[in-house]
Structure 1
Amino acid sequence: MSTRAYLGTRKGLFELDQVKGQWQLGASHFLGDPVSMLLVDPRDGSLYAALNLGHFGAKLHRLDAGAKEWSEVAAPAYPAKPPDSADPVEWKLKQIWSLAAGGADQPGVLWAGTLPGGLFRSADRGESWQLVESLWNMAERAEWQGGGYDVAGIHSICVDPRDSRALLVGVSTGGAWLSTDGGASWSPRGKGMKARYMPPELVDRQTAQDPHRIVRCEAMPDRLWCQHHCGIWRSDDNGANWIEVTAPLSSFGFAVAVHPLQGDTAWFVPAVADQQRIPVDAALAVNRSSDGGASFTTLRSGLPQERCYDLVYRHGLAVGADGSALLMGSTTGGVWLSSNGGQHWQTISTTMPPVYAVCFAD
């Protein structure tokens, strides 16, 4: 069972520690700096923190297991744009939006998804990065559009535990893409999704899809869950096909977490679509399905039920390795933790900075 967790916020990185069965805020790092993404590497226990420092650019830091001092490592960097390029996107790193560890047989390999929509690979624990040019240079990228940001970005990276060369990425807005050869080639994986904000003839176009977040069940790797701009989808065949699922209150939201051992169990945070983006009836709730989306339980115990306007971002919901611990952070500084799959939530704080990303130290 996890005894430590982390919050990446607009004003720093904060630790959560479990003491005598209760979770409480602990040490802070990078106080005052926006921390856009976190990663605990399960292979060696190192912690990565991506900082978005505005005028000073995006930075990446690593804290090795057992160490007390952070080391600044390299941030992904784009090559110079060819002078004859017609690409309207600026080839410049704006934000590290996702981080993922490579497979167990790939020590040191990391993946980073960025704004704009580039995927980067590191073979040396972040000391250097290479742009995955096969994805960046493919013609279909010209169809990608910004989904909440001015440019498209990669927010989800799902490495296949059966094969480290296989990974699926999610793009807002540009659909889902699968590589089975370490990033050398890519194929779209959005069949069945519906982009209902598009004209009727484009609703099914795979490059028009806006998956807000995609997660994979580690023990059932073919099972993927997607919180999409237009609803919730589940895949049973590694993204080849997607089945729409209807949840109570609302199927709109940003975050999704999947039980690491039980692929039928997943959690979502419903919100009012599209302009309001607040909890339904201003009462925070979490929807959980334990049967692949056939039915849902709406969980409210311990969550604010009056005048609550918290929104949970894409990376603001995480589940621990045991499938019981859940951590959730909101745009208005609310932080809640459940030790029993969401049946009851403990309030950690209501006065934190806006929370961008959460994770457990599994």
Structure 2
Amino acid sequence: MPERVLVLIGTKKGVFIAESDADRRKWDLRGPYCETWPMQHVIADQNMGTIYGAGGNEWFGPAVWKSDDLGHSWTHSSAGLAYKEGEEPVKSVWSLAARNGTLYAGVEPAGLFASDDRGESWSHVEGLRNHPTRTEWNPGGAGLILHSLVPDPADESRIWVGISSAGVFYTEDGGRTWEPRNKGTRADFMPEDQRYPEFGQCVHCLVQAPGGGDLLYQQNHCGMYRSEDGGRTWQSIEEGLPTTFGFPAAVHPRERETLYLLPLNGDIYGRFVPDAKAAVWRTRDGGRTWEDLRQGLPQENAFFGVLRQAMATDRLEPAGVYFGTSGGALFASGDEGESWSCIAEHLPSISSVETLVIER
């Protein structure tokens, strides 16, 4: 059957979906959905085709939205998305990940929840917030958020999370116990003799190479990194990039050493693309060398940023690459980043971009 691609777009005012055939030349856009709630992260369970949206804020409260008909209708639930009485309440859901029938949610203030009934009800994975360093976690610019969720598809006991600004934490027992995994990542905002702490780094995005295993990549407030040992140690891969600051990272669906980054000009210089000229940077060798991909992207007056969850790839051949901007534009490449086109404009500020490939 012919394949179709859905680009799932989380925005400050609801969910939008762009859809195309496998050629990815003509796109149809629909939305907004989810009653224009702010949506931090929208994903698909690739096995079931269900779409989930992480939403809410202090006004709406937290909830996870769900669609079983490719986004045409939605329900939502917040059952169980709460800490114990007396603790700071959950403000919103920031990230989602699905693995083998379990749905995970990362929330603000930072914590992890799990659902075994497709988001209808949730239970708190208490081991993370019980970590002895918890009282020393400090919020990043967006708050104390668990924004990166990386459950290993090959081992149900292993999960990595990224928390701003606490760093990367890892469990190998399904969430009962956790350990920080930040050795080798800098914290330039700390005093010089404290630049490499055990925890407290401001990780921006954490991703795993395709196929599972121990190869990880990280975009950080203070550099770009790779780890070949599941995060026990990290090596800088920022040489050849225009800056050491950025938010999103996206892996190729099949090639373990192909990674896409979108650096910004720095944390205090506007947080837009360097020189206001847009480029996605690609490595084919795990970060040893980089090339800038600009064809079709604006090369003047591009004063936009791209947030941590707003870049993704699809699983087609050749792979598609997508990113959404703070100004509400969605860019797409159907040839692994060699050339780009703008497939949607004037959307609300884009928080996340993910993909779903279906047969119909």
The answer to whether the 8 Å contact 1:14/1:25 transfers is no
Q: 2:39 aligns with which of 35, 38, 46?
A: 35
CA distance in 2, matches of 1:234, 1:131: 30
Q: How far apart are 1:120 and its partner, in Å?
A: 0.7
Instruction: Go from structure 1 to structure 2 and tell me whether the alpha carbon gap of 1:231 and 1:76 turns closer, same or farther (over 3 Å shift).
Output: farther
TM norm structure 2: 0.92
User: Secondary structure at the residue paired with 2:263?
Assistant: coil
Q: Which moved more, 1:46-55 or 1:166-175?
A: 46-55
Counterparts of residues 1-362 of structure 1 (less than 5 Å):
3-19=5-21, 21-28=24-31, 29-30=33-34, 32-52=36-56, 54-65=58-69, 68-74=72-78, 76-82=80-86, 91-102=88-99, 104=100, 107=101, 109-149=102-142, 151-246=143-238, 247-275=240-268, 276-322=270-316, 324-362=319-357
The two structures, once aligned, show a CA RMSD in angstroms of: 1.8
SS at 1:237 equivalent: coil
Q: State the one-letter code of the partner of 2:334.
A: S
Q: Distance in 2 between matches of 1:343 and 1:128?
A: 43
Deviates further, 291-300 or 69-78:
69-78
Separation (CA, whole Å) in 2 of partners of 1:214 and 1:56: 28
How many Å apart are 1:220 and its aligned residue?
Answer: 4.8
Contact kept, 8 Å, 2:111 with 2:129, in 1: the verdict is yes
In structure 2, list runs of 5 or more residues that go unmatched.
none
SS in 1 for 2:199: helix
Distance 1:333 1:75 in 2: 31
Contact 2:149 2:159 in 1 (8 A): yes
Counterpart CA distance in 2 for 1:68 and 1:14 is 10
Equivalent position amino acid for 2:114 in 1: R
Structure 1 length as normaliser, TM-score? 0.92
Between the two proteins, the alignment pairs up a number of residues equal to 350
Structure 1: how far apart are the matches of 2:243 and 2:192? 22
Whole-Å Cα distance in 1 between the matches of residues 26 and 198 of structure 2?
Answer: 42
Q: What displacement does 1:38 show? A: 0.7
C-alpha deviations, 1:112-143, integer Å up to 9, x for none?
10110011111111111111111112220112
Map of 1:87 onto structure 2? none
Separation in structure 2 between the aligned mates of residue 40 and residue 5 of structure 1, nearest angstrom: 10
What is the identity, as a one-letter code, of the residue corresponding to 2:11? T
Report the Cα distance in structure 2 between the residues aligned to 1:217 and 1:129, rounded to whole angstroms. 28
Match for 2:188: what amino acid?
R
Letter in 1 for 2:349: P
Say if 1:342 and 1:67 are closer, same or farther in 2 by CA, change over 3 A. Answer: closer
- Are the equivalent residues in 1 in contact too, given 2:10–2:40 (CA < 8 A)? yes
The runs of at least 4 aligned residues of structure 1 exceeding 4 Å deviation read 65-68
**Distance in 2 between the 1:315 and 1:37 partners?**
7
Deviations 1:269-299 (A, max 9, x none): 0111111201111111111000111110101
Measured in 2, the distance between the counterparts of 1:76 and 1:296 equals 44
Aligned counterparts of 1:137 and 1:56: Cα–Cα separation in 2: 27
Using the TM superposition, name which of 230-239 and 257-266 deviates more: 257-266
Shift of 1:262: 1.4
SS in 1 for 2:297: coil
- How far the C-alpha of 1:319 sits from its partner, in A, is 0.9
